[in-house]
């Protein structure tokens, strides 16, 4: 066993032992503990758990890769995901806590006085959560595959086993305290390598400042971003700092979709049912934003520095230069290790045994390259998702740092997967079984049903992780679009509109999610999918995109459709009963504990 393997097994093994120990200590003994951790979690602790629940494999593993290869265009993820928490803190969290129920479908069913509304909400929740959990399974497969040196599929199976232990045993109670530990692991794992790499490239130990600082390499005197712009333009790509994702309207819609999708994701909302008081729900959202900001303000630096490091280590340079011709057999050890995962692939297109890379979609670069006998981009796959995990290896950081990053990636993927699986499980056992099918089921049997539902959800998530549907492969943005177009408008109208009735809410949810799904399926072969190529393709517009809006961003349009249909249908049908209108007024007054009864 190598020194790196010893460090990796030691650190990852220790974190797993902590997670399992917490699960045994915090195992749930009642439905209240299983669904909302007994409603007694301190707001600071809940904020930390919420941050871990939120900062998924997409945040830890994928986001820096999307920023590395998407440049300025990748900032939609930073703006959308953090902005969503502002909406949560101001518009949703305290009011939902005041309502005092266990789940989002339960709120919708009671607010719109109909089991049919509850069932529609369950369907929307499952569609969004299952789509999102596919991304977490991908992250688990990548991280476990690298850590264990096994296939991607075996990595997913291993991750499923760990999640099953603490999610099935502890429910929300076990997940909450496990997520607090996972937050500590993932934030140290993310920031410590960033400090090392920022010091190496800029001499500044603060990555956020290093991103705008001076580069200390061969081109000392240039800023880090100027150096990166120079490298990518030499290869025929747009400047890193000006690269965008389609049109300005598309970037706006993408950001909005991620914002309201964040505020509508059930596994995030359910966390605000776990605190003792209404006031604590707002504080929890604020603390969650603080804890999230530590990682999110570091991510742009990690992305830019990772891209520069990658190009330096495999000697990528302008066409015709001496660089860009690394002999494949002399490739570094980190390159060989990641090739075994299948996420890094080289194809010697001209048979010279050397690695050439340039933008072969740029006619000018292609013509220039042909003069030197180059036959195209030979790095046929460098999956965006490996960048955070591979970055410490590329930068030749100490082995304990590399091992810590692996542990952090696993913590991020496992924490969010557990939250999503609990949301799916509670939707089935609490909202469908107890709320609709068997209202008289005992608490003991409901708890058993919750655990059985969790097992089924884990098996389904594992299968979809290994066999992702085409429309969801490689991106979690679709999940946000589904939540934005269905759940968020129903909750907003349920809190702030006394006139919205059950017919309007149901019609709005069905219309919003249907429009979004149809658009996604119609364009599934041509839209932007992060994590599939070495450098993110120069993003143009699909030939028939509506107003130039990509499917990943279409949730914002679906939400507008939802709001419009709900308003029109509600106006044409009878208003809600008086007691429901009084309930809406009462919910908007953020006072009192709002005890979570689950009834």
Angle at 269 between CA 266 and CA 274, to 5 degrees: 120
Q: For residues 529 and 230, is the Cβ–Cβ distance under 8 A? A: no
What's the rounded mean pLDDT across residues 554-575? Answer: 94
Q: Residues 351-362: pLDDT tens digits?
A: 888 887 777 778
Number of H helices, E strands in the chain: 25, 4
pLDDT at residue 323 in the model? 53
Give the Cα separation of 322 and 345 in Å (integer): 22
Angle of helix 152-202 versus helix 115-148 axis, rounded to 10: 70
366, containing H or E segment: helix 363-370
Q: Which residues of 246-258 are buried (b: 16+ CB within 10 A; e: fewer)?
A: bbeebbebbbbbb
- 237 or 320, which is more confident: 237
- How confident is the model at residue 567, as a pLDDT? 95
Q: Is the pLDDT of residue 572 over 90?
A: yes
What is the rounded average pLDDT of the residues 302-315?
81
pLDDT of residue 512: 94
Residue 96 has pLDDT above 70, yes or no: yes
Proportion of the chain above pLDDT 70, given as a percent: 86
| Lowest-confidence pick of 94-98, 376-380, 496-500, 525-529 | 525-529
**Distance in angstroms (rounded) separating the CA atoms of residues 541 and 257:** 18
Residues 357, 379 contacting (CB under 8 angstroms): yes
Higher pLDDT, 533 or 498: 498
Per-residue pLDDT band for 543 (boundaries 50, 70, 90) equals low
Name the nearest CA neighbour of 571 among 491, 511, 501: 501
Is the per-residue pLDDT at 246 higher than 80?
no
Please report which confidence band the pLDDT of residue 525 belongs to, taking 50, 70 and 90 as the band edges.
Answer: very low
CA-based nearest residue to 301, from 388, 220, 176: 388
The residues, any chain, with a CB within 8 Å of residue 398's CB and separated by 6 or more, are none
What pLDDT is recorded for position 86? 82
Which one-letter DSSP state was computed for residue 373? T
Q: What is the pLDDT of residues 137-167, one digit of tens each?
A: 777 776 676 666 677 788 888 878 888 877 7
317 pLDDT higher than 70: no
| Mean pLDDT of the region 392-397 | 84
For residue range 431-480, list pLDDT tens digits in order.
Answer: 778 877 888 888 788 788 888 888 888 888 888 877 766 544 445 667 88
- Per-residue model confidence as pLDDT tens digits over 268-285: 777 777 778 777 877 888
DSSP code string of 38-87: GG---HHHHHHHHHHHHS-HIIIIIHHHHHHHHGGGGHHHHHHHHHHHHH
Which pLDDT score is estimated for 146? 64
pLDDT in the model for residue 474: 46
**pLDDT at position 577, please?**
93
pLDDT of residue 564: 97
* Structure token pair of residue 133: 């959990």
For residue 38, the model assigns a pLDDT of 63
Residue 315 pLDDT class (50, 70, 90 cuts): low
Rounded CA-CA distance 422/419 in Å is: 5
The pLDDT value given to residue 423: 81
Which spans in 149-247 are helix H?
A: 152-202, 207-210, 224-234
Which of 58-62, 94-98, 213-217, 590-594 holds the top average pLDDT?
213-217
More confident position, 546 or 204? 204
Model confidence at 258: pLDDT above 80: yes
Confidence check: pLDDT of 381 > 60: yes
If you average pLDDT over residues 326-348, what whole number do you get? 81
Winning range, highest mean pLDDT, from 29-43, 374-388, 453-467, 564-578: 564-578
Q: Do the Cβ atoms of 172 and 273 come closer than 8 Å? A: no
Query: Residue 40, Cβ neighbours under 10 Å: how many?
Result: 13
Place of tokens 């003069």: 371
**How far lies 380's CA from each of 304, 314, 335, 348, 374, in Å?**
21, 14, 14, 10, 14
Measure the CA–CA gap between 151 and 141, rounded to whole angstroms: 8
* Angle in degrees, CA 261, 436, 418, rounded to 5: 45
- The mean pLDDT of 413-439, rounded to a whole number, is 80
- Is the pLDDT at 322 greater than 50? The verdict is yes
Q: What is the CA 336 to chain-centroid distance, rounded?
A: 28
Report residue 349's pLDDT band, with 50, 70 and 90 as the boundaries: confident
- Is 595's pLDDT higher than 50? no
163-202 per-position pLDDT tens digit: 887 777 767 777 888 888 889 998 998 999 999 999 988 9
Q: Is residue 593 predicted with pLDDT exceeding 60? A: no
Half-sphere exposure of 167 (CA within 13 A, CB side): 29
- pLDDT above 80 for 516: yes
């Amino acid at each position: 066993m190598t020194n790196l393997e010893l460090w990796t097994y030691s650190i990852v093994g220790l974190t797993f032992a902590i997670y399992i120990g917490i699960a045994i200590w915090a195992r749930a003994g009642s439905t209240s503990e299983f669904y909302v951790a007994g409603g007694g979690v301190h707001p600071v602790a809940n904020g930390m758990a919420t941050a871990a629940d939120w900062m998924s494999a997409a945040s830890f593993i994928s986001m820096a890769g999307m920023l590395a290869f998407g440049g300025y265009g990748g900032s939609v993820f930073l703006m959308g995901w953090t902005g969503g928490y502002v909406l949560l803190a101001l518009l949703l969290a305290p009011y939902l806590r005041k309502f005092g129920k266990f789940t989002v479908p339960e709120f919708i069913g009671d607010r719109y006085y109909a089991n049919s509304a509850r069932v529609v909400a369950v369907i929307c929740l499952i569609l969004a959560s299952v789509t999102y959990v596919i991304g977490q399974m991908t992250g688990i497969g990548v991280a476990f595959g690298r850590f264990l040196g096994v296939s991607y599929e075996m990595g997913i199976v291993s991750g499923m086993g760990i999640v099953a232990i603490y999610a099935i045993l502890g429910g929300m109670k076990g997940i909450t305290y496990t997520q607090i530990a996972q937050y500590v692991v993932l934030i140290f794992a993310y920031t410590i390598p960033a400090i090392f790499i920022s010091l190496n490239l800029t001499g500044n130990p603060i990555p956020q400042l290093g991103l705008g600082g001076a580069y200390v390499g061969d081109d000392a005197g240039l800023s880090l971003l100027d150096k990166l712009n120079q490298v990518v333009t030499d290869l025929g790509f747009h400047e890193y700092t000006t690269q965008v994702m389609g049109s300005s309207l598309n970037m706006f819609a993408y950001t909005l979709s991620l914002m309201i999708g964040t505020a509508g994701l059930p596994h995030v909302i359910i966390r605000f049912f776990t605190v003792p008081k209404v006031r604590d729900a707002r504080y929890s959202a604020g603390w969650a934003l603080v804890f999230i900001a530590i990682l999110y303000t570091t991510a742009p630096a990690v992305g830019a520095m990772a891209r520069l490091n990658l190009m330096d280590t495999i000697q990528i340079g302008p066409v015709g230069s001496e660089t860009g011709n690394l002999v494949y057999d002399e490739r570094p050890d980190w390159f060989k290790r990641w090739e075994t995962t299948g996420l890094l692939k080289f194809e010697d297109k001209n048979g010279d045994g050397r690695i050439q890379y340039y933008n072969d979609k740029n006619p000018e670069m292609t013509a220039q390259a042909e003069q030197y006998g180059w036959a195209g981009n030979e790095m046929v796959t460098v999956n965006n998702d490996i960048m955070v995990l591979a970055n410490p290896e590329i930068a030749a950081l100490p082995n304990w740092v590399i091992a810590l990053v692996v542990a952090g990636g696993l913590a991020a993927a496992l924490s969010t997967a557990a939250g999503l699986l609990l949301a799916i499980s509670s939707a089935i056992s609490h909202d469908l079984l107890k709320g609709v099918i068997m209202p008289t089921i005992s608490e003991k049997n409901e708890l058993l049903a919750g655990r059985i539902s969790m097992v089924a959800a884990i098996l389904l998530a594992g299968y979809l992780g290994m066999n992702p549907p085409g429309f969801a492969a490689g991106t979690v943005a679709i999940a946000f679009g589904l939540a934005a177009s269905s759940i968020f408008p129903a909750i907003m109208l349920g809190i702030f509109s006394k006139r919205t009735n059950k017919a309007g809410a149901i019609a709005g949810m069905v219309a919003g999610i249907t429009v979004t799904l149809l658009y996604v399926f119609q364009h599934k072969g041509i839209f932007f999918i992060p994590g599939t190529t070495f450098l993110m393709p120069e993003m143009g517009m699909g030939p028939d995109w509506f107003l130039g809006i990509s499917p990943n961003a279409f949730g914002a349009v679906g939400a507008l459709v939802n709001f419009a249909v709900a308003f029109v249908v509600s106006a044409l049908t009878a208003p809600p009963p008086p007691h429901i209108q009084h309930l809406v007024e009462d919910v908007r007054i953020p006072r009192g504990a709002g005890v979570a009864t689950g009834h």
